[in-house]
Amino acid sequence: MAKKVKATKEIKTRSYRITDMGGRPCLKINGDFLATEYGFETGSRVEVVKDGDVIMIKKIDQATTEYLEAQKRRSSIRKEMKNIAERISLMERGHALG
């Protein structure tokens, strides 16, 4: 007689509890399934999207992460260059007056 095999779900539902961390709500998710089922690695970046009562955690691919970090560095450099230009302008005006 053939043994019955229980059909397995394609996507497993997992349940977590929100905990307290320094007075703030915290959600800790860990486990091998993050790497084996979803392809996460240490340092992977995610985006959290809220849609009504649904919260989605979306993995951000490496190329997008690198692009976003490059944009942040570029903005930071531009801001610093603007500050330097303003300081030079103030120094030049000070020398012209003095």
Q: Do 54 and 67 reside in the same domain of the chain? A: no
* C-alpha span between 66 and 73 (Å, rounded): 11
- 22 and 54 in a single domain? The answer is yes
Q: Which domain holds residue 87?
A: 61-98
Domain-located, residue 7: no
CA 64-44-36 angle, to 5 degrees, is 120
The pTM (predicted TM-score) of the whole model is 0.48
Per the domain annotation, does 5 fall within a domain? no
Q: Structural domain tally of the chain?
A: 2
pLDDT tens for the chain, residues 1 to 98: 566 666 666 777 888 899 999 999 998 888 898 899 888 888 888 999 999 999 998 888 888 878 888 999 999 999 999 999 999 998 888 877 66
Query: Half-sphere exposure of residue 7, counting CA atoms within 13 Å on the CB side?
Result: 3
